[in-house]
Amino acid sequence: MEIKESVQKKPWYRLLYVQVIFAILFGIILGHFWPDQSKGLKILGDGFIALVKMIIAPVIFITVSSGLASMNNLNSVGRVTGKAMLYFITFSTLALVIGMIIGNLVQPGQGMNIDPNTLDPKSIKDYVDASKEHSLTSFILGIIPTSLLSSLTGDSILQVLFVAIIFGIGLSMTQEKSKPVIDFLHGLAHPIFKIVEILMKLAPIGAFGAMAFTVGKYGLAVLWNLIGLVATFYISALLFIVVILGLVAWYNKFSIFKLLRYIKDELFLVLATSSSESALPNLMRKLEQLGCSKQVVGLVVPTGYSFNLDGTNIYMTLAALFIAQACNFPLSLNQQILILLIAMLSSKGSAGVTGAGFITLAATLAVVKGFPVQGMALILGVDKFMSECRALTNFIGNSVATIVVARWDKQLDEATLKKELG
């Protein structure tokens, strides 16, 4: 209670989300009036994301392994994971369907009459090449690290989660003998989360650099290019959050709007950096404060970053239809269903980092025979602005998923939830 009161007494200019908002505005102004100088500020945004990604592996490993170590019944691990996967599959598929329905209804690419042969395939070559390595087999094998420690030094969230679960199960089965290790992990959590707190103070600097670079490189004018597609995607994502996730939240006895207000600091950070990973450690901490058990948070949030990408899924089907419409490539119902089914697989394993959505889109479109994949060059210029919406929607979707799964498994303190959101 004392902590909460001290936060409320902070001057408005010391609140993180206020600092991030001003950083974004200053970045836009600098990028617009001094574009050449602003391009060099990319290092600030990239550096901040790198710092946060540096601490993600220890946060997940400590949270998950120590959480599982305190569980006497390991059946609950499988139960929570099963419920989480059921939720992920249901709402990820629903997001794909919504993107496809809106794409067919609005038809944002209709009338552009683009000849795909006139487009420069070199601009999307790197994404297409990367998509060739993106297969179900490589995804499954990619979960297994080369060694127990290599997962902590790599950049795969799923590898860290995999090792943390195995290690946590080992600790749970040898609790008495492993007590020194468990105590060490609990003690190690304090400095790790203090580091997270320190890094978050640098968020405005990272947000400023990322936004200044974006506007400096692409210019404000690019915001008006293909405005129909960008607007359609933002409206689709907003409807998904307010209507679909709003109904899910209402059914589970909490307000989506109160949740958005509760995680506003993290949302502005995700908006500025276009990466939902930049706010992952803070999200895990806040969800625990909301009353979700440590075990559920540790299992659902990292898994959701690969399996519950609602924003990416809406984008993929909507962008696929836009390109087909713009290049006058008629898609039959069977081909649209094929795109949807392939997207269900190719979207898995895309961590919330910038560019992942574009790569998985390339992997999906390549499956449809004759599809003008080079048409992806049409949306390359505005993909950066859509990546922000993808990251925000993914982030909000995983926040809702964690609360819902915790409630389903009776590992949610509903009194705390109501008090914190209130």
For residue range 127-175, what is the model confidence (pLDDT) as tens digits? 555 555 555 566 677 778 888 777 777 767 778 778 888 888 888 888 7
Region 175-190: mean pLDDT is 84
Which segments of 144-293 does DSSP mark as H helices, in order?
150-153, 157-173, 179-200, 203-218, 227-239, 246-251, 256-262, 264-273, 280-289
pLDDT: which is higher, 32 or 360: 32
DSSP 297-319: HHHHHHHHHHH--HHHHHHHHHH
Tell the burial category of 10 from Cβ atoms under 10 Å away from its Cβ (0-12, 13-18, 19+): exposed
* Largest CA-CA distance found in the chain, in angstroms, rounded: 70
Query: 3-class SS at 226?
Result: coil
Distances in Å between the Cα of 247 and the Cα atoms of 106, 250, 255 are: 24, 5, 9
Q: How far apart are CA 292 and CA 310, in angstroms?
A: 21
Q: Which of 387, 403, 317 is nearest to 352 (CA)?
A: 387
Specify the pLDDT at position 346.
Answer: 63
Q: How confident is the model at residue 407 (pLDDT cuts 50, 70, 90)?
A: very high
Tell the burial category of 209 from Cβ atoms under 10 Å away from its Cβ (0-12, 13-18, 19+): buried
* CATH assignment at residue 325: 1.10.3860.10
Q: What is the DSSP letter of 411?
A: -
Which of 168-182, 186-200, 343-357 has the weakest average pLDDT? 343-357
Region 361-379: mean pLDDT is 73
Tokens of 366: 């390549």
Does the pLDDT value for residue 277 go beyond 90?
A: no
Taking CA 50 as the corner, what is the angle to CA 158 and CA 270, rounded to the nearest 5 degrees?
A: 80
Rounded to two decimals, the pTM is 0.71
Tokens of 124: 């999307």
DSSP 69-99: HT-S-THHHHHHHHHHHHHHHHHHHHHHHHH
Region 209-226: mean pLDDT is 65
Does the pLDDT value for residue 117 go beyond 90?
A: no
Does the pLDDT value for residue 390 go beyond 50?
A: yes
Specify the pLDDT at position 245.
Answer: 94
Q: What is the DSSP letter of 155?
A: S
Q: Which of 140, 164, 141, 142 is nearest to 152 (CA)?
A: 164
The tally of domains found in the chain comes to 1
Region 327-339: mean pLDDT is 83
How many other CB atoms are there within 10 angstroms of residue 98's CB atom?
A: 21
Mean pLDDT of the chain: 78
Distances in Å between the Cα of 72 and the Cα atoms of 168, 175, 176, 382 are: 11, 9, 12, 50
Region 228-241: mean pLDDT is 88
Specify the pLDDT at position 400.
Answer: 95
Radius of gyration of the chain (CA): 22
DSSP 94-149: HHHHHHHHHHHHH-TTTT----GGGS-GGGGHHHHHHHHT--HHHHHHHTS-SSTT
Domain range for residue 364? 2-421
Tokens of 71: 């569980």
Tokens of 136: 């179900």
Q: What is the DSSP letter of 412?
A: B
Q: How far apart are CA 92 and CA 174, in angstroms?
A: 37
376 backbone dihedrals φ, ψ, rounded to 5°: -60, -25
Which of 63-72, 101-110, 203-212, 346-355 has the weakest average pLDDT? 346-355
Does the pLDDT value for residue 3 go beyond 90?
A: no
Region 54-81: mean pLDDT is 75
Region 229-252: mean pLDDT is 91
Single-letter code of the amino acid located at 24: I
Which of 116-125, 227-236, 307-316 has the weakest average pLDDT? 116-125
Tokens of 258: 């109160």
